[in-house]
Amino acid sequence: MQNQYQQKEYICRLALPIDFLERLPFFHENLKKINQLQSTQNN
Protein backbone atom coordinates (compact mmCIF):
# COMPACT_ATOMS: atom_id res chain seq x y z
CA MET A 1 0.00 0.00 0.00
CA GLN A 2 2.84 2.35 0.91
CA ASN A 3 4.63 1.58 -2.34
CA GLN A 4 1.53 2.34 -4.38
CA TYR A 5 1.25 5.76 -2.75
CA GLN A 6 4.91 6.53 -3.50
CA GLN A 7 4.38 5.66 -7.16
CA LYS A 8 1.42 8.04 -7.38
CA GLU A 9 3.42 10.81 -5.73
CA TYR A 10 6.30 10.21 -8.14
CA ILE A 11 3.97 10.42 -11.15
CA CYS A 12 2.50 13.66 -9.80
CA ARG A 13 5.98 15.12 -9.52
CA LEU A 14 6.76 14.10 -13.09
CA ALA A 15 3.71 16.08 -14.14
CA LEU A 16 5.33 19.24 -12.75
CA PRO A 17 8.47 19.69 -14.87
CA ILE A 18 8.38 23.49 -14.49
CA ASP A 19 8.65 23.18 -10.71
CA PHE A 20 11.54 20.78 -11.17
CA LEU A 21 13.30 23.11 -13.60
CA GLU A 22 12.89 25.99 -11.14
CA ARG A 23 14.55 23.97 -8.38
CA LEU A 24 17.35 22.67 -10.60
CA PRO A 25 19.57 25.82 -10.54
CA PHE A 26 19.24 25.97 -6.74
CA PHE A 27 20.25 22.32 -6.50
CA HIS A 28 23.15 22.95 -8.86
CA GLU A 29 24.38 25.84 -6.68
CA ASN A 30 24.25 23.61 -3.61
CA LEU A 31 26.16 20.92 -5.46
CA LYS A 32 28.95 23.39 -6.29
CA LYS A 33 29.10 24.52 -2.65
CA ILE A 34 29.32 20.92 -1.45
CA ASN A 35 32.07 20.18 -3.96
CA GLN A 36 34.00 23.23 -2.77
CA LEU A 37 33.65 22.16 0.87
CA GLN A 38 34.80 18.63 0.09
CA SER A 39 37.81 19.84 -1.89
CA THR A 40 38.90 22.16 0.95
CA GLN A 41 38.54 19.32 3.47
CA ASN A 42 40.67 17.02 1.32
CA ASN A 43 43.48 19.59 1.16
Residue type, 34: I
Q: Is residue 38 part of a domain?
A: yes
Q: For residue 30, is it within any domain? A: yes
Is residue 23 assigned to a domain? yes
- Within the chain, which residues score under 50 in pLDDT? none
pLDDT at 41: 74
What tens digit of pLDDT does each residue of 27-37 get?
778 888 888 88
- Is residue 3 a part of any domain in this protein? no
SS3 16: coil
Q: Quote the domain boundaries for residue 38.
A: 17-43
pLDDT score of 23: 74
Question: Residue 15: phi, psi to the nearest 5?
Answer: -80, 0
Structural domains of the chain, count:
1
12 in any annotated domain: no
